[in-house]
Chains A and B, each alone.
Chain A
Amino acid sequence: MEYRKAGEKNIKEYGFPVTIDEKLGTLQWVDLRELTLSYLICIENIAPFFENMREGKLVTTRCPECGEIFFPPQKDCPNCMISEMEWIELGREGTLETLTVVFVRPPTFARYDPYVVAIVRLDDGVKITAWLRGDPEKVKIGDRVRIEIKRREKEGHYMYEIVPVEG
């Protein structure tokens, strides 16, 4: 961040980490206590989702009592108040429900070119949000698409993505 640099420079010249707002010309103290956030997110109870994805399969949980399929997978069924869920494999094909192209990306995604995010309704009925591979101008809502699992280009981990079905 430029203002961090300006702040540090001004400690020497002015005696404080300050900068001037370029629009208003007003004096700002530049906070020196920069914070980095990276969370530990527990996936213990949905570990089969990741283990199967590694094997190229897309699985999720279904409640054996009411039959509801949960995606994202859930440990508990709030309909039946039970936690003994079964894992099922999801069909890979579905229909494109909507999409966008993210041009202005968060800094943590700056390494990627603008990407297409889409939501697909799988034939099983559940909907999935993921990146869509391919030219966004060549797809439209209602098109048939399928889910593929690949390693992420930059981070290298497995992830599911949406690809148009040819023909």
Chain B
Amino acid sequence: MAVAIIGAGHSRFGNRRDVNVAELAWESMKQAFDRANVVQKDIDFYIVGMAGLWSSEAAVPSLIAEYAKLYAGSMRIEAACATGSASIGAGYNAIESGEADVVLILGLEKMQESPNPTVIEIIGRYGSYFWEFENFGLTFPAYYALYATAYMNAYNAKEEDFGNVAVKNHYYGSKNPYAQFQKEISLEQALNSPYIAWPFKLYDCSPITDGSACVILASEEKVKEFGLDDTVWIISQGSRTGTANLSKRENFLSFDSARRASQMAYRKAGIDAEKPYLHLDGADVHDCFTSAEIMAYEDLGFAKRGEGVELIREEQTYIGGRIPVNVDGGLKAKGHPVGATGVSQAVEAYKQLLGEAEKGRQVDIKHGRWLTHNIGGTGHYAYVTIYGLEKR
């Protein structure tokens, strides 16, 4: 049974201390309801993807039941920064199994309810608590920096290569009215920003973000029943889990979890894993740090091992290049509200495939397929999802 996205919504990302948790959720839900032309009683089940702890509300599905009058069955899902894609996967499975026909997926995070140092403290714990955080004080940038250092050493990548990822993603962020940072930056600005965790500087890091994103999924029968033709289908999803301790990983040049998740997604979609970019119009990859985007190029097969850095040097991931990547600004400029990120990527896939992205960042859709790569922690959870205009 095929599963479609029939509506999508996206709040403005950034400092959203102008709304509370429920109001922020409603912003994207309202848009998704309107777009799908459904109401609360049409929803059979809903999932709230939220990592939480930095924000006040924990029983968010109930908060939503009350605020939005949505009383279908529900659950909350957490898979660190891959929470959004994990939630979409669970919704997809609910429909595939025949248990539900219409499922609402809400990705949500209100990180700025806590001060930045508290958030830094909490995210640093998304590894092995005892063997990495408790005694060695690793932070989220530091985990990724361990990979970045190894990558620079192995493939002669430079800090300015990482800076160029920030420049690209800020360029596209400047064209996205929902992005946290809607300003272009220069390479000098990126390179002159202060160190956070060497080799990462401030502009290598995604920000602390509030935001919500929502998609409504429906079975093929419901798509017919509703008479919809502007839908995007979930073609496939692959997922894998990596070890808690980075010291248990084979090397620091690639996420084995992401590589295998992408192979699963390609196989199910019938996409050649050697040159997948020949079958895709674009991708959203998990650039929580700039080097992570370059590593994602390789883990996804957009470039050969060690050659990801060439893609950014040659501007091959801008629109018009080999494959446009993060033309919504990515986590880097659009922002990274942890639980909302994977859903935001799905919203971007939906908009791009239907030709509804804003001026200056709409990709020319030829193959009708878009990929999202959503990583929780530092390769701890990997979800690769392929969306398409034609059902599989």
Interface residues, chain A, with chain B CB atoms under 8 Å away: 1, 3, 21, 23-24, 26, 28, 31, 39, 41, 71-72, 97-109, 112, 115, 117, 119, 126-131, 136, 140-142, 159
Contact = CB atoms under 8 A, between A and B. Distances in A.
Nearest to B121: A106
B149 A129 contact: no
Interface of B: 15, 17-18, 56, 115, 117-118, 120-121, 124, 128-139, 141-142, 145-150, 153, 194-199, 245-248, 251-252
Contact of B117 (A41, A106, A131): A106
Contacts of A128: 247
B253 to A, nearest CB: 10
Nearest to B152: A141
A142 to B, nearest CB: 8
B56 A31 contact: yes
B121 A107 contact: yes
B206 to A, nearest CB: 14
A101 B387 CA distance: 39
Nearest to A25: B18
Given A21-B15, A98-B146, A136-B198, 5 more contacts: A21-B18, A72-B130, A97-B252, A127-B247, A129-B136
Interface centre among B120, B124, B146 (most CB of A within 10 A): B146
Given A97-B252, A119-B252, A128-B247, A104 B196 contact: yes
Contact of A119 (B121, B146, B198): B146
29 contacts: A21-B15, A21-B17, A23-B17, A26-B18, A72-B128, A98-B146, A98-B153, A99-B149, A100-B145, A100-B146, A100-B197, A101-B197, A101-B198, A102-B137, A103-B197, A103-B198, A104-B197, A106-B120, A106-B124, A107-B117, A108-B137, A109-B137, A115-B136, A119-B246, A126-B247, A129-B245, A141-B149, A141-B150, A142-B153
B149 A100 contact: yes
Contact of B247 (A119, A136, A159): A119
B150 A106 contact: no
A98 B17 contact: no
6 smallest beta-carbon distances between A and B, as pairs: A100-B145, A109-B137, A127-B247, A101-B198, A98-B150, A106-B121
A141 B153 contact: yes
A7 to B, nearest CB: 13
A57 B230 CA distance: 65
A54 to B, nearest CB: 15
B198 to A, nearest CB: 4
A72 B246 CA distance: 11
Tell which of A119, A131, A159 has the most Cβ of chain B within 10 Å. Answer: A119
Give the most central of B129, B132, B136, B146: most A CB within 10 Å: B136
A3 B245 CA distance: 36
A106 B115 CA distance: 12
A106 B133 CA distance: 10
Contacts of B120: 104, 106-107
Contact of B142 (A26, A39, A100): A100
Nearest to A131: B136
Nearest to A108: B121
Contacts of A104: 120, 139, 141, 196-197
A68 to B, nearest CB: 12
A136 to B, nearest CB: 7
Contacts of A126: 247
A94 B139 CA distance: 25
Given A24-B15, A100-B146, A140-B153, A105 B252 contact: no
B137 A97 contact: no
Contact of B149 (A3, A41, A98, A159): A98
A130 B252 CA distance: 16
A146 to B, nearest CB: 16
A99 to B, nearest CB: 6
B117 to A, nearest CB: 5
A129 B137 contact: no
A129 B195 CA distance: 21
Contacts of A115: 136-137
A108 B18 CA distance: 30
A145 B129 CA distance: 25
B131 A72 contact: yes
A20 to B, nearest CB: 10
A159 B135 contact: yes
A57 to B, nearest CB: 17
Contacts of B150: 97-98, 141
